[in-house]
Chains A and B, each alone.
Chain A
Amino acid sequence: GEDVEQSLFLSVREGDSSVINCTYTDSSSTYLYWYKQEPGAGLQLLTYIFSNMDMKQDQRLTVLLNKKDKHLSLRIADTQTGDSAIYFCAESFRYNTDKLIFGTGTRLQVFP
């Protein structure tokens, strides 16, 4: 079945790198996404990676995909206090179903 898991909390110092991890069970995903949710706000799409890629870099964000281990990570370089939020990974299976399957979310706390 489809299941996506993340660690619940991550705390980092401002200026350090953050690495948020995600594991998934269904290897038939087409795209994997990272969404950011700030307090009281909606889901902001940060970045995505096609399932046949290993890495994608987008400014301060680096996404790594290990298909063998079904592991996805999001690295945020030079983490700022404004990066404090909940980060969700999500899978899509575009050719089989419309829905996104979301992870549990990781709350990132950045302290000065």
Chain B
Amino acid sequence: EPEVTQTPSHQVTQMGQEVILRCVPISNHLYFYWYRQILGQKVEFLVSFYNNEISEKSEIFDDQFSVERPDGSNFTLKIRSTKLEDSAMYFCASSEGSTKIETQYFGPGTRLLVL
């Protein structure tokens, strides 16, 4: 069964450094998403991406964040200058974006720790 994959599974970085989190969505999907889950808290929506542009973003997704689909398979989340409060599990998701159910399928997540 096709699945969303994410790399790395864990990332440790120093405050102020840039990180790039990578995702490979399910191949025929058209909508892509990033969510995050701070330890012990709810899963929160960050951004959605469709047709090579941001479709929607939350108030969390400020100028420090950017997303990109650099080729036909990868979808990346970049945090330009990490802060301690960016420590979280980051989930990528994708959905078909057709007339079918818009179910979002999630990857296993990248656990980011900012020191």
Contacts and interface: CB of A to CB of B under 8 A. Distances in A.
Pair from one complex? yes
B101 A100 contact: no
Interface of A is mostly: strand
Interface stretch (A15-23, A42-50, A59-67, A71-79): A42-50
B48 A98 contact: yes
Contact of B102 (A31, A90, A102): A31
Given A43-B91, A103-B42, A104-B42, A98 B103 contact: no
Given A42-B109, A88-B43, A100 B104 contact: yes
Interface residues of A, number: 23
B102 A92 contact: yes
Interface residues of B, number: 24
A36 to B, nearest CB: 11
A31 B42 contact: no
Interface string B1-41: 00000100000000000000000000000010101000000
Contact of A43 (B50, B55, B106): B106
B102 A45 contact: no
A99 B58 contact: yes
B65 interface: no
Interface string B60-97: 00000000000000000000000000000001010000
Contacts of A98: 31, 33, 45, 48, 50, 55-56
A2 to B, nearest CB: 10
Given A42-B91, A102-B42, A48 B103 contact: yes
Interface string A79-112: 0000000001010101001111111110000000
Given A99-B56, A99-B58, 17 more contacts: A31-B101, A41-B108, A42-B109, A43-B43, A43-B93, A44-B106, A45-B103, A48-B101, A88-B43, A97-B56, A98-B45, A98-B48, A98-B50, A100-B43, A100-B104, A102-B42, A102-B44
Interface of B: 6, 31, 33, 35, 42-45, 48, 50, 55-56, 58, 91, 93, 101-109
- Sort A-B residue pairs by CB-CB distance and give the 4 closest, nearest first: A99-B45, A98-B48, A42-B108, A43-B106
